[in-house]
Structure 1
Amino acid sequence: MTLTVTFTSLAGIVTGCSDSTEELGPPAATVRADDAAGGGTPPVRPAAHAPLTRSHPVKVAVPALFVEAPVTPLELDGRGRLGAPPLSRPMTTGWHRAGPSPGEEGAAVLVGHRDTRTGPAIFLNLKALRRGDTVKVTRADRRVAVFTVDEVNTYSKADFPDDKVYGTTGRAELRLITCGGRFDKRDGYADNVVAFAHLTATEKKA
């Protein structure tokens, strides 16, 4: 079973995930500076940055999760489903190339496996992201689109909010999607984890 996203018009639903045969348990602990006793004040949400012109993504980095991965373009199949990168490349993410590119106006979509039969995959700890964390996407035009995380939610596949995840936003946004929840050998994972972020800066790749 693979992670797939089914698109209906401007909306969609994530229908599957990895081919793992067992639940790996809670994500590995991620050491965070704001995890100290007593907590801290919530980060201020930066203002949105002006959208960029189209350019396909080549790399995504999530510093808070120590993630850096190449991006491969993905097409829809005959039933309108977007697959994930090959299971043989668990540390690669996939971009829905028919949708906005990261930095363009709209919701750009990057998907990745949570795990495979051989162990953890690139988005194992996606749920550990927090508001204020950053996601950096290097594009072919050598610009780096910097996104700030607004929220991270887990949705049952039966109640997946198509419009919220894939709908028109009026600004440049990013969605990182993987699977989550309980794993069933027949049906796969019950839920999907979605990180929502918006463009807040651009950098020039050296």
Structure 2
Amino acid sequence: MTGGPGYGMPRLLRGGMGAAAVGLLLIYNSVDTGPGEGQAAGQAAPPAAAAPAVPGPAAATNGATAPPTAAGAPGAPALKRSKPTRLRIPQIAVDAPFTELTLGPAGQLNAPPPDDKNLVGWYRDGVTPGERGSSVVAGHVDTTKGPAVFLLLSLLLPGNKVEVSRADGTVAVFSVDNVETFAKNAFPDQKVYGKTPDAQLRLITCGGTYDKKRRDYLDNVVVFAHLESSHKA
């Protein structure tokens, strides 16, 4: 996932801090990690854009309602809060540790390190994977060193499994409901980040055409998934 200088930020983020805040910051305020076409390395990254402070986990589930889980796919009971430690998606060979995403001095959400190709990020004050609400996990599609952890994210299909190991010794197993691509300048924040009656997961990276002038991809790929089960590690 590369990121630009905060252009096209939806009105909801500029105004009140609703359900979309955490995820929108992940999308729009990550650093530029690679030049896209050609995968040439060595271009300097622009600073992340300033953004309002991010609400805590309770606020992250308030606001507009997001779509429920897929019809005929009942979700498992939500789990207690516990930090994620590792993400596994067998279908696309993802096996990556988590890093906590924090706020910078200007209030922007810091992106995962741009030089680590196998790392995913979770905003540490947001909903944890398995908790009730929409938990947001972000990863780069490429870096200055080449393809990254979420390079094949768009290839996931409904029914594919996403496993999140948690600090409490449980593994939250999510089932993919659908995968969608949205233009960054028309991102449906309420659909992606609205409150949910169950535990859901959003996996987000960049996609579409790479704009060399903006040094950013024009789209975002979003995987929608719901908690299907959980078990001890």
Q: TM-score range by the shorter chain?
A: 0.7 to 0.9
Q: Distance in 2 between matches of 1:74 and 1:140?
A: 16
Bigger proportion of residues as helix: 2
Q: Distance in 1 between matches of 2:220 and 2:131?
A: 24
Point out where structure 2 has 5 or more consecutive residues left out of the alignment. Answer: 40-69
Bigger proportion of residues as strand: 1
Q: Distance in 1 between matches of 2:228 and 2:79?
A: 11
After superposition, residues 39-54 of structure 1 pair within 5 angstroms as: 46-54=73-81
Q: Give 1:2 shift.
A: 4.5
Q: Distance in 1 between matches of 2:84 and 2:73?
A: 22
1:19 corresponds to which of 1, 11, 33: 33
Match of 2:156 in 1: 129
- SS of 2:226's equivalent in the other structure is strand
Per-residue CA shift, 1:101-152, capped at 9, x if unaligned?
0000000111000001221000000000011001000000010000000011
After superposition, residues 1-206 of structure 1 pair within 5 angstroms as: 2-3=2-3, 8-12=17-21, 13=24, 14-15=27-28, 18-23=32-37, 46-77=73-104, 80-187=107-214, 188-205=216-233
Q: Is the 8 A contact 1:17 1:178 kept in 2?
A: no
Q: Is the 8 A contact 1:44 1:132 kept in 2?
A: no
Q: Is the 8 A contact 2:2 2:142 kept in 1?
A: no
Q: Give 1:11 shift.
A: 1.1
Q: Give 1:167 shift.
A: 1.0
Q: Distance in 2 between matches of 1:24 and 1:57?
A: 33
Identity %: 45
| TM-score after normalising by structure 2 | 0.74
Q: Is the 8 A contact 2:101 2:111 kept in 1?
A: yes
Per-residue CA shift, 1:4-29, capped at 9, x if unaligned?
8975421143225642213269xxxx
Match of 1:29 in 2: none
- SS of 2:191's equivalent in the other structure is helix
Q: Distance in 2 between matches of 1:98 and 1:168?
A: 16
Amino acid at match of 1:10: A
Q: Give 1:80 shift.
A: 4.8
- SS of 2:111's equivalent in the other structure is coil
Pairwise CA RMSD: 2.3
Q: Give 1:189 shift.
A: 0.4
Q: 1:80 to 1:130 in 2, by over 3 A?
A: farther
- SS of 1:82's equivalent in the other structure is coil
How many residues matched?
188
Q: Give 1:89 shift.
A: 1.3
Q: Distance in 2 between matches of 1:163 and 1:79?
A: 25
Match of 1:35 in 2: none
Q: Give 1:164 shift.
A: 1.0
Amino acid at match of 1:191: D
Misfit runs of 4+, over 6 Å: none
Q: Distance in 1 between matches of 2:169 and 2:148?
A: 26
Per-residue CA shift, 1:175-197, capped at 9, x if unaligned?
10000011112311000000010
Point out where structure 1 has 5 or more consecutive residues left out of the alignment. Answer: 26-42
Per-residue CA shift, 1:74-123, capped at 9, x if unaligned?
12335554332101212100001111100000001110000012210000
Q: Give 1:3 shift.
A: 3.8
